[in-house]
Amino acid sequence: MKLDIHSLSIPDVKLIKTARISDGRGYFAETYVRRDFAANGINHEFVQDNQSASDAPGTVRGLHFQIPPFAQAKLVRVLSGRIIDVAVDLRRSSPTYGNHIAIELSEASGDQLLVPVGFAHGFCTLEAHTVVFYKADEVYSPGHDRGINWADPTLKIAWPVQADKAIVSSRDLALPRLNAAPVVFE
């Protein structure tokens, strides 16, 4: 499996491009082969797969994370549609604390985003009937599930939807801003 891995403006967040073999039927791609990821320095043991479907563009999910000992790294890709995927650095001692990565992921590109532990993750759908799939290196634990408010103006995220037009869960609307959230990741 040939991996093309790019560090982004926050170097621990990686954009991963996998080769596709195309013919008249469509394409084939190996999206995850552990030994190939490990050979490229990505040594996560993914233990859970998650999938979400969003019916409308402008659906926002996030910004979510889990606290230790159930903190999660995620490997995110889009199976159908397009999203703006966002990772916010929550590591207080990091020079990029409070900064974010926002990148388009789509079914067409097949690109994946590696979101390491210490980041809040969320996305906004750009198309109807968008399906997002991600691997996590720790199981979901409701007691360790946390988040920060997606619309926190101090994060300066250029979401592709206005706050009053976004489709957001009541849970996500009630999440605290970054400056009101407890420090979890030093």
**Domain interval for residue 141:** 47-176
Catalytic residue selected from 32, 100, 121, 134 = 134
Task: Say if 185 falls within a structural domain.
Answer: no
Task: Say if 59 falls within a structural domain.
Answer: yes
Task: Say if 38 falls within a structural domain.
Answer: no
Q: What is the pLDDT of residues 148-179, one digit of tens each?
A: 999 999 999 999 999 999 999 999 999 999 99
Section 26-42 average pLDDT:
95
SS3 179: helix
Task: Say if 183 falls within a structural domain.
Answer: no
Confirm if 38 and 99 have CB atoms less than 8 A apart: no
Q: What is the pLDDT of residues 118-129, one digit of tens each?
A: 999 999 999 999
CATH code of the domain covering residue 102: 2.60.120.10
Task: Say if 157 falls within a structural domain.
Answer: yes
pLDDT at 1 over 70: no
Q: How far apart are the first and last CA of the chain?
A: 35
Cα distance between residue 40 and residue 3, in whole Å: 8
Task: Say if 23 falls within a structural domain.
Answer: no
Q: Has 134 been annotated as catalytic?
A: yes
Catalytic residue selected from 44, 64, 100, 121 = 64
Task: Say if 24 falls within a structural domain.
Answer: no
Largest CA distance in the chain: 53
Task: Say if 181 falls within a structural domain.
Answer: no
Q: What does pTM read for this prediction? A: 0.96
pLDDT of the residue at 85: 98
Q: What is the pLDDT of residues 88-115, one digit of tens each?
A: 999 999 999 999 999 999 999 999 999 9
pLDDT of the residue at 2: 78
Percent composition of the chain: helix, strand, coil (DSSP 3-state, to 5):
10, 40, 50
Burial of 114 (0-12, 13-18, 19+ CB in 10 A): buried
* Tally of structural domains, the chain: 1
